[in-house]
Structure 1
Amino acid sequence: MRPGLGGEGRRPRAILPSQVAGSWPRHGGQEVLSEAMRSVVSMISLVAVHGYRSIRDLVLPLGRVTVITGANGSGKTNLYRSLRLLAGIAHGRLIGSLAAEGGLSQVLWAGPEQITSAMRTGQVPIQGTGTRTGPISLGLGVLADDLGYLVDLGLPQAGPESTIFFRDPEIKREQVFVPPVLRPAGTLVDRRWSKVRARENGRWAELETRLPPRESIIDEVADRATTPELVALRRTMSSWRFYDGLRTDPASPARRPCVATRTDVLADDAHDLAAAVATILESAWSAPFQEAVARALDGAHVGVEEGGDGSLHLAVNQTGLLRPLGAPELSDGTLRFIMLAAALLSPQPPELLVLNEPETSLHPSVMPALAELVAESALRSQVVLVSHDRHLVDVLTGGHGSEPVDDGLPESGAVPGVVHHELVRDTGQTTLAGQGLIGAARWAWGTRKRW
């Protein structure tokens, strides 16, 4: 076995991110950095969810870094899963993902169609009316700097007598529009059932393509010549990255050796952790990675070694130990932090990175180092953290609660551009704490009316 990247026999060459195209200096140049962040990294300003389990209607503004907290049962997991469904549209996985969750009937809003004032005050029990006044619908939407998108899903018209798949959801409507809100004059692409039309020189032009109910316009109709808006959406949404299955138990995939191949993106189960770390150690992000690990783990240093069979495995040098420890020997917290560092400092950053409960197994003393990692990642990606840990929130916000911090480099432990949302349950539905009708972000779902 020979020493590998980052081992004692070969310290990684320190390369500043400013030496690589598309990166920014880590220290100094605050005005240049803030301008680069605004002009190079596109922003998603909000996401909208309608009719998903405990989420009846939720519009969530996003910042450069968004931290989402809430008590158990407040709807954090439902929000996270709805974001994954939205991202799956760009990969053609939306219907399959819904089927894996038990079908549309298992993910729809679980409360009554209408919540009356008497229900809110407790004068009458929360109950359904027996008859529906609106269609069964699951809505997902996203608003970026220059484009908005929504998809409306429902049940098929066919009954059980005509097909065994009558519970399969189908796409009823998709629309791409000019921000800030959906309106007829600002709609660029409009899909109703199988028909699709797009604006061309100010006029509607119906496309010849007829879409099956399972396929999205983003996956099937995107074309640089006729629908460049869909190409932009597909590129943005297909880059979104999610991590919620980073296991640290003895059978964790991250504790096993992996194939020696360049790995710019850590897998969602971290089975290729050693390869991902080796790739980072050969990139401009080697120094930030090692600095973060050393700060969090009492001066530890991460290396990667190659086995006799060509596989790669971690070799972590810790203060006071005479030999490096492999992944099977690492504590849960040490392994988790290395996985988070590999995810946040990927040489191929996503446009949106979503981490679900990253603080699991981490000691509170590690939170400042995790916040610094988030700040480093936020220079290149938009970051969403779903968390239970109030200490992590305080570190990320610098003690400012939900008040955003001015763009720039981190000061006093705060991450720049952070927004904090707390989810609460109101009459069974997931809402944002402290947000009334006046302060709510604007969003319009439109209707299924045919054209």
Structure 2
Amino acid sequence: MSAENRAITRIHVEGFRSLQNVDLEPGRVTVLIGANGAGKSNLLSLLRMVALMRTQSLRRYVGEAGGASALLHYGPKLTKALNIRLEFEQKTATNAYSARLGYAAGDTLLFLDEAVEHRRAGSDVTQLTSLGAGHKESILEEAAGEQGDPTAKAVRWWLSKTNFFHFHDTSFAAPLRQNSRQEDVRFLHSDGSNLAAYLRSLAISEEPARQAAWRRISQLVRRVAPFIKSLQPTLVDPANPETSSVRLDWVDERDQLFGPHHLSDGTLRCIALFTALGQPVDSLPAFLSIDEPELGLHPAALGILASLVRSTSTHAQILLATQSPALLDLFEPQEVVVTERAQGATTFRRLDPERLKGWLEDYSLSELYDKNVLGGRP
């Protein structure tokens, strides 16, 4: 099935942090822009939580987030439950996943309901399949077993193909700079902790698609960091190639070898971003989100990143959360969603190109944002 014929068409959330009651209809590319605390990252966190629910990791997520009371909108006294609904469209049908999670003893969440839905294209009849209630971990995986429900299988596929990338941590102890296990190459981790091993797997692969991805990533890196002659992800212990970990080495224009700790924060983020977006098509998530991709990037690098987002969006839906007005100028008005927060609740508002037509004859999107014509300012 081609990427153009499948998409997440609706994300509805009630009661999750600042997302009191929001609807978002993602396109091939969606750019969320707004001030600190507006709620952009809350949406990305929600999507990450749903993806982890598929692997029965809800309790782990809730614990790491500080408990259920930290996730419910203004706590359990105001919000007793949170509702999630995702709709997935393909050429022949629309499927949906919904969950209602209530506050439970021990500052945890309990499934009050979990369901999947199926509707054939052109039909008004929706087939609802309840997965039950009272459980503390999703039973979607069980429902989508070998002889399981076809709709549950379709939803499981979607959730398994949803990923969230965040490369904020570039400190000396950051996962991005550490050695990684060479066998850990099935997919790029959301924090880039297996970046070195993943790049090496592309570099040594004999598959044409993976070779092409390696060349593409290498060329993009050289465009933003010309001093890098080549990336050389290397076995730390070549005498034991089967068990050695991998380090992200690189060679400069004077053929001097350096390690990952000699890369600037911005350059390291570029490498990670280009790898996430430039990986082989068969490895790409169907839906990927990136939080603040502009961090540490030179304006020229932003343009290259936007071009890569555009080309990758033919194979995957991409959601960006940003505070950078400059990034807006690299996308179409209808791809921009202004994120604001009023009285503790987040709102999403997609720009209307027709309403802005007169303004855009004289001003760029970034100028209109800075003038607060678009909203979304602190």
TM-score by length of 1: 0.67
Q: Secondary structure at the match of 1:147?
A: strand
Once the two structures are superposed, residues 162-203 of structure 1 have per-residue CA deviations (whole angstroms, 9 ceiling, x without a partner) of: xxx4543210112222359xx995132024525xxxxxxxxx
Q: Which residue of 1 aligns with 2:249?
A: 315
Distance in structure 2 (CA, Å) of the matches to 1:65 and 1:150: 24
1:287 aligns with: 215
- 1:137 match: 81
1:88 is paired with a residue whose SS is helix
What secondary structure sits across from 2:200 in the alignment? helix
- How many residues align? The count is 332
Distance 1:37 1:149 in 2: 20
Q: Which residue of 2 aligns with 1:18?
A: none
Give the aligned partner of residue 347 of structure 2: 431
Structure 2: distance between partners of 1:311 and 1:223: 35
- Aligned to 2:303, the other structure's residue is in SS state helix
Q: Go from structure 1 to structure 2 and tell me whether the alpha carbon gap of 1:75 and 1:262 turns closer, same or farther (over 3 Å shift).
A: closer
Number of the residue aligned with 2:55: 91
In 1, Cα distance between equivalents of 2:213 and 2:108: 45
Calculate the aligned-residue CA RMSD, in Å: 2.8
Q: Is the 8 A contact 1:48 1:59 kept in 2?
A: yes
Identity of aligned residues (%): 28
Match in the other structure for 1:17: none
Which residue does the alignment assign to 1:259? 181
Query: Contact 1:255/1:328 (CA < 8 Å) preserved in 2?
Result: yes
Aligned partner of 1:367 in structure 2 is: 302
Check whether the contact 1:154–1:171 (CA below 8 A) recurs between aligned residues: yes
Residue 322 of structure 1 deviates from its aligned partner by: 3.6
1:292 is paired with a residue of what secondary structure?
Answer: helix
1:77 counterpart SS class: helix
Deviation at 1:382, TM superposition (A): 1.6
Q: 1:331 aligns with which of 249, 264, 273?
A: 264
Match of 1:86, SS state, is: helix
Q: Secondary structure at the match of 1:44?
A: strand
* Residue in structure 1 matched with residue 44 of structure 2 by the alignment: 80
Correspondence for 1:38: 4
How far, CA to CA, are the matches of 1:186 and 1:295 in structure 2? 50
Q: Considering fraction of residues, name the structure with more helix.
A: 2
Distance in 1, Cα, partners of 2:348 & 2:130: 30
The answer to whether 1:303 aligns with 2:232 is yes
| CA offsets 1:112-165 (integer angstroms, 9 cap, x no match) | x9xxxxxxxxxxxxxxxxx98xx8210111111020111001134xxxxxxxx4
Q: Which runs of 5+ in 2 are unaligned?
A: 239-243, 353-378
Partner of 1:189: 129
8 Å CA contact 2:119, 2:127 repeated in 1: no
Aligned counterpart, 2:365: none
In structure 2, do the counterparts of structure 1 residues 393 and 280 end up closer, same or farther at CA, with 3 Å as the change threshold? farther
Q: What is the SS of the residue equivalent to 2:20?
A: strand
| Alpha-carbon offset, residue 51 of structure 1 | 0.5
Which residue matches 1:63? 27
C-alpha deviation, 1:435, in angstroms: 8.4
| C-alpha deviation, 1:97, in angstroms | 1.4
Tell me if the contact between 1:264 and 1:279 (Cα under 8 Å) persists in the aligned partners. Answer: no
Counterpart Cα distance in 2 of 1:218 and 1:390: 40
Q: Give the one of 265, 288, 292 matched to 1:357.
A: 292
**For structure 1, which runs of at least 5 residues remain unmatched after alignment?**
1-21, 23-35, 114-130, 157-164, 195-212, 404-418, 437-451
Change (3 A) 1:93 1:311: closer
Q: For residues 341 and 286 of structure 2, what CA distance do their matches in structure 1 show?
A: 30
2:117–2:151: 8 Å Cα contact kept in structure 1? no
| TM-score normalised by structure 2 residue count | 0.79
Taking the aligned partners of 1:265 and 1:154, their CA distance within structure 2 comes to: 33
Q: Distance in 1 between matches of 2:150 and 2:279?
A: 28
Cα separation, partners in 2 of 1:178 and 1:308, compared to 1, 3 Å? closer
Name the CA shift for 1:302/1:420 in 2 (closer, same or farther; >3 Å).
same
